[in-house]
Structure 1
């Protein structure tokens, strides 16, 4: 929808709605900060020799029972396409971070598992990402962090409810937000 990333473009987005539109403003800010965080995490992951997606794939594998998964289950857990996970699996296997096994029950199927080199890479990268999260949330109390999590869960739930449906704001709803 909106990927207004620099301040001039964000201001333009706010100006598109006479009187302001608080939900749009919040989404623009949310998209902007998540984009910047993701961009930084991608850059930092590259310094460790992986893409951010590859790091997440290793983390997801480490959380699985037996540290093993099918690529399609891994794609579903990560919210990415099978094509994206396929190329990730190929590169992670080539780099030696995972092992690939044929599925004994399905000749076309495979499983991937985390190996020692993959576990070591996670341990190497985790301190940076844990530190980043701690720094980003350091000005928030524990209660505020819990509230923030609740708000994000509500946004996610609302998004799940409307995903794929055609949305239009009624004039009354727009005016309600502009009165504040």
Structure 2
């Protein structure tokens, strides 16, 4: 993924706005800063998880299974909750199963129906990663007080609600 590290100055944005009158300089600057920050945070999370032998997709699947009271879910539900295609989920599950972190459980009456179960080894991976993850998130978020956190979540929700502008 390309990350633009050199964000445009207000002067550069003004030049763009002269050529492209629909440009909202403040909006573009804010959007690019948000995009850059989100990309950098995602890259840092990737690097953190890699030190634990994980990729983000696999980590999320383990978390989604742990969130279930039974520690089980169907591949299609996992795909929907993770926001990936079923084919992508199949690949993630293949790797997790190969590593002994999850198990496919086939329905005795209909072998086409599959449930994915979090295994103790998968739980152990989460147990190793999550305390460090939560410490790092706490450190990241210490610069924002509770009111600022609520405001940030609200503002991000507003943006998410308008994200279909790129659809």
Q: TM-score surpassing 0.5? A: yes
Unmatched segments (≥5 aa) in structure 2: none
Q: CA RMSD in A?
A: 2.1
Report how many aligned residue pairs link the two structures: 159
Residue 111 of structure 1 is matched in structure 2 by 115
Q: 1:70 and 2:67 equivalent?
A: no
Residue 47 of structure 1 is matched in structure 2 by 51
- Relative CO higher for 1 or 2, CA cutoff 8 Å, sep ≥ 6? 1
Residue 5 of structure 1 is matched in structure 2 by 4
Q: Runs of 4+ in structure 1 displaced over 6 angstroms?
A: none
Q: 1:83 and 2:80 equivalent?
A: no
Q: 1:136 and 2:140 equivalent?
A: yes
- TM-score, normalised to structure 2, is 0.85
Q: 1:33 and 2:37 equivalent?
A: yes
Unmatched segments (≥5 aa) in structure 1: 165-180
Q: Secondary structure at the match of 2:84?
A: coil
1:100·1:110 contact (CA, 8 Å) conserved in 2? yes
